[in-house]
Structure 1
């Protein structure tokens, strides 16, 4: 209430410097606002939390700084109150004290040398930097804390079900590399993903490990079989000359032989994500998919008129559709199971 009164009086004097009532009321209103600020900041000194209390004190003084700036920019208000208090130095001092408290807390947390406390250290260094940019070596300490707070996840090479990836025609371990890229791109908080080569190159030890294992990765060969069935149909061949005429019918027969080529390939990807020290699982699940490839064509003997439209469609088929090769099938199954895994991780796996 005191603040609003002061700002209203300043606005009146800005619009009308000759407003005597506003000029007489402004000093007392300003003093009431200043006393209120002093009461609040004195209480914060006694009871406020380290760091936070200085930020709150600076916010209170910032209100008085806004009053100061408005009074100095208004000839009418400045004439009524020629010597308002400029709290700029107090604000700067409070921010410095806040930065010092936050910085010291960050150093204490960092000394515990755990990921959890490193995160607390990082949060405090951030507050210190915001309160007083460039305070001491806070920028460097932010980098150190961020590194210590990072969970390092090793994505192991994929086990391709008793074979190497080259058996299926892959040029490299596609899934391992893709998983590292995809998960790093998703910006998990304080988490980075590595191959074993990356960790060795940087001399880092993983906190969590991802094992990928195809318990099934079966690429089928083309199988063939055939079956035959009979068709019969009664057809109209004419009519009698009687009155009234009657239809003449005949039963016709055909034998349909269907030849079939087919493949049934399938894969099951097992993924375990676990803590290196405790061996506790963050995820242990399996993801399966299957590809069925079928091609049929037919021949017939007998009377074509006995055939159904479906029979005729099969007879018209040709062996023009070549079966997918081993590499195509394996890559499709790997990608499908991998996408299921990625979706499962996104739905709620905590690293």
Structure 2
């Protein structure tokens, strides 16, 4: 009873596909249900009319992808065909139309349309169009597997759409830091290659590209500028501290116990040594065909190595907890300059990688 009531509601609301499904479900359980037998033919007829009107509207339109919409309408009707065939009682009152041939024809037309769009894009001869063509040939194959030579054309479009990006060797003023700069560049190239930022972007180390005669489409130049490694600052602090502490008790004239206070003193000697390394990385992305600068920026980075040690003279009881934290330790040598160079370039590397991933993900 509930299936028929819901079927009638769906029918009255114009939801004919759902109404057909509800009536068929009812007839699967109760083949003699009068309401389902009466309304199913009308619901199917209305559904068929609605879908075929949509098909005619699509066919009259100028939409280049209209055959995919036509395919969807035919598939909706074919689902009703299969559904009605699942209930013998439904077949007694409705003879559904088989749309399999219509679906096949629509798929062929849709695939042909996608293929033709891909060919037209390839004929433009630019990389952006080749990348769009790759998607069109892929869409044709999804519609009809092994459609013509779409698979070969898809591979051709992929190769034509690739952007070869060469990352330059890094210009460093001091040869002392060249090895660290080369490590920076090598790690950047490997990371960009492994991240799969964009299927159409291939990153190359400049030396590799030169050896393999790879013609870059874009060139990323890198140069460290205005960098200082190992600038040392020493702060020496001497501070007197004192504190009143209880050293005993006594009684006043009334017999009340009172504390005896004594002032204790000490002198803190704190040495704070900092070694600062900082610099800028200048990078620029250039289109090698027309010389146009696509992006340029300067990224700052810094690293401060800190060594603090201290001692005191006097009464330890005068020291606060904070004072105690500052004493101890020993004078230590800072890391080697190459290590300091690596440390200040870490935040630069992180920012540069984010910039390049963002830029090339949009190609």
* TM-score normalised by structure 1 residue count: 0.77
What's 2:340 paired with?
Answer: 329
Name the CA distance, whole Å, in 2 between partners of 1:183 and 1:258: 46
1:125-144 alignment runs, 5 A limit: 125-144=137-156
CA 1:260–1:134: 2 relative to 1, 3 Å: same
1:178-217 alignment runs, 5 A limit: 178-184=187-193, 185=195, 187-188=197-198, 190-200=200-210, 203-217=213-227
CA offset digits 1:57-113 (Å, max 9, x no partner): 1111112211111111111112223x4221111101110110011101101101111
Task: Give me the CA root mean square deviation.
Answer: 3.9
Instruction: State whether structure 2 residue 281 is matched by structure 1 residue 272.
Output: no
Instruction: Identify which of 89, 92, 101 aligns with 1:79.
Output: 92
CA 1:48–1:22: 2 relative to 1, 3 Å: farther
Instruction: Identify which of 25, 36, 39 aligns with 1:11.
Output: 25
* Mean Cα deviation higher: 18-27 or 87-96: 18-27
What's 1:219 paired with?
Answer: 229
Name the CA distance, whole Å, in 2 between partners of 1:234 and 1:18: 102
Name the CA distance, whole Å, in 1 between partners of 2:31 and 2:41: 15
CA 1:29–1:256: 2 relative to 1, 3 Å: closer
Instruction: Identify which of 291, 313, 324 aligns with 2:304.
Output: 291
* TM-score normalised by structure 2 residue count: 0.75
3-state DSSP of counterpart to 1:322: coil
CA 1:335–1:162: 2 relative to 1, 3 Å: same
* Mean Cα deviation higher: 26-35 or 340-349: 340-349
CA 1:287–1:341: 2 relative to 1, 3 Å: farther
Name the CA distance, whole Å, in 2 between partners of 1:63 and 1:152: 45
Determine if contact 1:54/1:98 at 8 Å carries over to the other structure.
yes
Instruction: State whether structure 2 residue 350 is matched by structure 1 residue 339.
Output: yes
Name the CA distance, whole Å, in 1 between partners of 2:240 and 2:316: 6
Instruction: State whether structure 2 residue 184 is matched by structure 1 residue 175.
Output: yes
Cα drift, residue 195 of structure 1: 1.2
